[in-house]
Amino acid sequence: MKAPMTTLPSPPAARRDPATIAAWAILALAIGGFGIGTTEFAMMGLLPNVAEGVGISIPEAGHVISAYALGVVVGAPVLVAIGAKMPRKVLALGLMVLFTLGNLSSVFAQDYTMLLVSRFIAGLPHGAYFGVAAVLAASLVAPTKRGHAIAMVMMGLAVANVLGVPLATYVGQQLGWRWLFVMVAAIGLVTIVAITFLVPAKKAHPDASIRGELSALRRGQVWLTLLVGVVGFGGFFAVYTYVANTMTDVAGFPSTFLPVIVGLYGLGMVAGSLVGGRMADWSVMGSIYAMMGFISVSLVIYAVSVHIQWMALIMIFVIGASGSMLVPSLQTRLLDVSPGAPTLASSLNHSALNMANALGAFAGGLVITWGWGYTAPALVGAVLAVLGLGIALFSGFLDKLKPRPTAHNEPHTVVPSRAAD
């Protein structure tokens, strides 16, 4: 008599529907964004500790932040081009390994030069990771839900400003600044495990190539979208860079209240990511137009009302939200205008945002140096937002002159089959 045949239970992933698989994959990718956001922004609160620990001045410690930003700008196009033929899951894992090793090297940096190099290395995978993660997330959902999926990946960056940055700052102050990088490296390891088990694996597309990804750089609409980010988002960073001085010197809050203010800013970013993803699914260009106008108006209101404490608290939340609302639309727009090369274009968005950081900080610092006060950066930011709106309108005008298919009616031309790898 034959023994009865038994059927092995199917693995958990096989029993989940596509929506559940996508949700867990996006969560795994967002954890990486949480780690990246923590290491990027927590350094600002630990600059005095870093300066003392390495034996350098505060301005020199500021160069450590610049080294990370430079790594973001350089790494996005270089690493995406190098990994063009890899399955995108494999590329995401490789980028997170590099990110983790870069932060571990910062733990053991013994002098200023070693710290600069380690921060540059840690910044290299930043833009490339978000670009790959955005393409992966978009490929897992219906075309009409791409904006929301991308926003959920970016949510990790927003949540980092609410939870990761305050926690890492506290840990760094209590145990030493090197523990910031220990904490971030641990988040990197968690991300590697999560991506390994939760993100679906597919083969690389046979036509994938470095030349194919670099083809995005030949498209004028890609450059216009990046320029919208550089110029328009500069206003967001013009305010963020000097928020501590504005809140203490103009609004009159004690410095001990700054964690609450930064937390409100971070909560605004979380809310903005949620709303921005839905707006991008409603209309990519329409939401870009609306948000550029909203940012400019918000910054003007902030500048004229920040001396009133309750208004200052409301507006810091609004500004955090308005900036984050714009990111999903810019990311989705780059997917739309770079058929066949979405990863590089999407990665360059984060290079553009880091350039916006530098532009906003420089422009804001310039008007403060001229004696215009700490509210002046917000007015400069409003002007930059208006300029960004003008660039976006010009980009939309070019679209009308030369109609082309978008992801909403021909999804495969926007996110080709290899984008799901």
Alpha helices in 108-219 (DSSP H): 112-139, 146-159, 165-175, 178-198, 210-214
Q: State how far the alpha carbon of 328 is from the alpha carbons of 20, 187, 263, 269, 416, in Å.
A: 21, 24, 21, 12, 19
Residues contacting 132, CB < 8 A, separation 6+: 80, 83, 88, 91, 92, 95, 343, 346, 347
Least confident residue range of 131-140, 174-183, 234-243: 234-243
Say which amino acid occupies 142.
A
Structure tokens at 280: 């991008």
What Cα–Cα distance (Å) separates residue 196 from each residue in 94, 192, 354? 11, 6, 29
For the domain covering 17-420, report its CATH number.
1.20.1250.20
Residue with the bigger pLDDT between 192 and 421: it is: 192
As a whole number of angstroms, the distance between CA 177 and CA 189 comes to 20
Q: Pick the more confident residue, 69 or 307.
A: 307
Distances in Å between the Cα of 391 and the Cα atoms of 73, 121, 388 are 22, 33, 5
pLDDT at 42 over 90: no
Short-list 27, 66, 39, CA closest to 154 = 27
Distance of alpha carbon 59 from its chain centroid, rounded? 25
The answer to whether 148 and 278 are in contact (CB under 8 A) is yes
* pLDDT above 80: residue 396: yes
> pLDDT band at residue 404, thresholds of 50, 70 and 90?
low
Query: Is residue 232 very low, low, confident or very high in pLDDT (cuts 50, 70, 90)?
Result: confident
CB 54 within 8 A of CB 174: no
Name which of 273-277, 319-323, 326-330, 358-362 the model is least confident about: 358-362
> Is residue 237 within 8 Å of 69, Cβ to Cβ?
no
Which residue, among 283, 285, 239, 260, has the nearest Cα to 397 in the 3D structure?
285
pLDDT of res. 204? 60
Instruction: Give residue for tokens 């066949």.
Output: 340
> CA-to-CA distance for 11 and 207, rounded, in angstroms?
32
d(CA 10, CA 15): 7
Q: Residue 323: its pLDDT value, please?
A: 83
Region of residue 132 (phi > 0: left; psi between -120 and 50: alpha; otherwise: beta) = alpha
Q: Which residue has the tokens 């532009």?
A: 359
Element (H, E) at 270: helix 258-282
Distance CA 396, CA 42 (A): 37
Higher pLDDT, 4 or 325: 325
- pLDDT tens sequence across 363-385: 888 888 888 988 998 999 999 99
393, exposed or middle or buried, with CB in 10 Å at 0-12, 13-18, 19+?
A: middle
- Is residue 285 within 8 Å of 237, Cβ to Cβ? no
Residue 46 has what pLDDT?
79
Query: Residue 128 above 80 pLDDT?
Result: yes
At 238, the pLDDT band (50, 70, 90 cuts) reads confident
Locate 266 and state its tokens. Answer: 């971070």
Q: Read off the pLDDT band of 203 (50, 70, 90).
A: low
Q: Provide mean pLDDT across the span 313-341.
A: 87
Q: How confident is the model at residue 415 (pLDDT cuts 50, 70, 90)?
A: very low
How many whole angstroms separate alpha carbon 246 and alpha carbon 378? 10
Q: Which of 309, 204, 207, 339 minimizes the C-alpha distance to 248?
A: 309
Choice among 4-13, 145-154, 406-415 with the minimum mean pLDDT: 406-415
pLDDT of residue 215: 66
pLDDT score for 48: 77
pLDDT band (50, 70, 90) for residue 186: very high
What pLDDT does 211 receive? 65
**Could you give the angle at the alpha carbon of 230 between the alpha carbons of 225 and 231, nearest 5°?**
100
pLDDT digits 0-9 by tens, 338-351: 776 777 777 888 88
Whole-structure pTM value: 0.75
Q: If you average pLDDT over every residue of the chain, what do you get? A: 83
pLDDT value for 262: 78
Amino acid at 122: A
